Structure 1
Amino acid sequence: MSEGDGLDIILQQIRQCRLCEPDLPLGANPVIRAHREARILIVGQAPGIRVHQTSIPWNDPSGDRLRSWLNIDRDTFYNERQIAIMPMGLCYPGKGRSGDLPPRKECAPQWHQRVLDELPNIALTLLIGQYAQNYYLPNKPKTLTDTVRNWSQWSPDAIPLPHPSPRNTLWLKKHPWFESEVVPFIRNRVHQLLAI
């Protein structure tokens, strides 16, 4: 088995996963992108309905804002040899009272470490939203705001971000330091890694 075969096998297993299907309103459609050469990993929440329908991660207004924060185009963003994308929940979880339901809790323990073991070149992990931060930053502050405000304690290896959803526009207005201080650092780091 050559390098990369292990990841290909795991990705195939993930895409065939039906572990939570009885609880998914639109059925299972695990969405993940990864390549052994990737240097950046984006860990988000869970696919939204548009991502579920297209099987393309971040294929929505949240993705547009995220690409704007990173200052990269769609071609770069979707180049698996550069950027791996692995949400906390791999399938669309359904609608809740105020947006989508939380990501399914089964996915990350079932799949994440197996994928990470096959991504030896990751130099930056972007942890987007509270679910990714709670899972990967065990000693973080209690609130997302305080976690993002203290981003430098995990950089340059990992950086916590708020979710780029249009629902978070008010949060961004209340916390202008995120776009004036954190976004420029992330852009520089991402572009450094993409240039290697």
Structure 2
Amino acid sequence: MELTKEIAACRLCADRFAATATSHAPRPVPWFRPSARILIAGQAPGMRVHDARKPFFDRSGDRLRDWMGVSSDDFYDLDRIACVPAAFCFPGYNAKRSDLPPPPICAHTWQDRVMAALPKLRLRILVGAYAHRNHLGVKTNLTETVRNWRAHAPGVFVLPHPSWRNTGWLRKNPWFETELLPELKRAVSTVMATTPSGNPANP
């Protein structure tokens, strides 16, 4: 696909990344095809994803796949699931080894073109505050946005980031696992079981 080749070759942020504590070169991770029916919108790749060149190829990905109720093979099926973050490259670390925010120029350059290239989407999973703001324009805090998940379901699900740093948040908000996740798994299962035309895979 020409668009993924363009993104993979992007070097807009080369100088920005060279100036970070990691002093790394751009390595975009475009992961989508026009046939995808589920969109996972996130923030930006981490260091392990940067190295592996596969989205959510880390412990956060393990947790996200568990939340969705899918296997690794299904998750990485490009014909069914697209992963489109706010920035396609690892932004690097600051001096304290914390992730830097995704450069806005990435979304400004690519987001509209990528979304236009995904005409068959039936379910959008928005992971983290950056994705909530980018796709819904919400200005509420993460907890309030996720608590209001029913306002967007079943076509859109808003989630916290599956980072293990958010384990404390999950303990404080048990409704997320008892109320939201069963509905998310049901929606994912329904879409995964259909063909790109929207018909059941095994009528």
- TM-score, normalised to structure 2, is 0.90
Length, aligned pairs only:
188
What are the within-5 Å matches in structure 2 for residues 39-78 of structure 1? 39-78=37-76
Q: What is the distance in 2 between the residues matched to 1:27 and 1:98?
A: 17
Task: Give the drift of 1:99.
Answer: 2.9
Q: Where does 1:104-143 land on structure 2 (aligned, <5 Å)?
A: 104-138=103-137, 140-143=138-141
- What SS class does the counterpart of residue 182 from structure 1 fall into? helix
Correspondence for 1:9: 2
Structure 1 match to 2:158: 160
Corresponding residue number in structure 2 for 1:3: none
What SS does structure 2 have at the residue aligned with 1:126? strand
Q: Percent identity?
A: 44
Could you tell me how far apart the structure 1 residues matched to 2:98 and 2:175 are? 26
C-alpha distance in 2 between matches for 1:13 and 1:142:
34
Cα distance in 1 for partners of 2:27, 2:139 equals 33
| Segments ≥4 residues shifted beyond 6 Å | none
- 1:121 match: secondary structure: coil
Two-structure CA RMSD over aligned residues (Å): 1.1
Distance of 2:144 and 2:174 partners within structure 1: 14
CA deviations on 1:27-77 (whole Å, 9 max, x unpaired) are 100112111111000011111001001101100000000001011111000
Give the TM-score normalised by the residue count of structure 1.
Answer: 0.93
- Give the secondary structure class of the aligned counterpart of 2:187: helix
**Partners of 2:126 and 2:159 within 8 A in 1:** yes
Within 1, Cα distance between the matches of 2:97 and 2:134? 22
Q: Which amino acid aligns with 1:110?
A: T
C-alpha distance in structure 1 between counterparts of 2:166 and 2:24, whole Å: 25
Segment of structure 1 superposing worse, 42-51 or 18-27: 18-27
Residue of structure 1 equivalent to 2:198: none
User: Counterparts of 1:145-184 in structure 2 under 5 Å?
Assistant: 145-184=143-182
Structure 1 residue 157, shift from structure 2 partner: 2.0
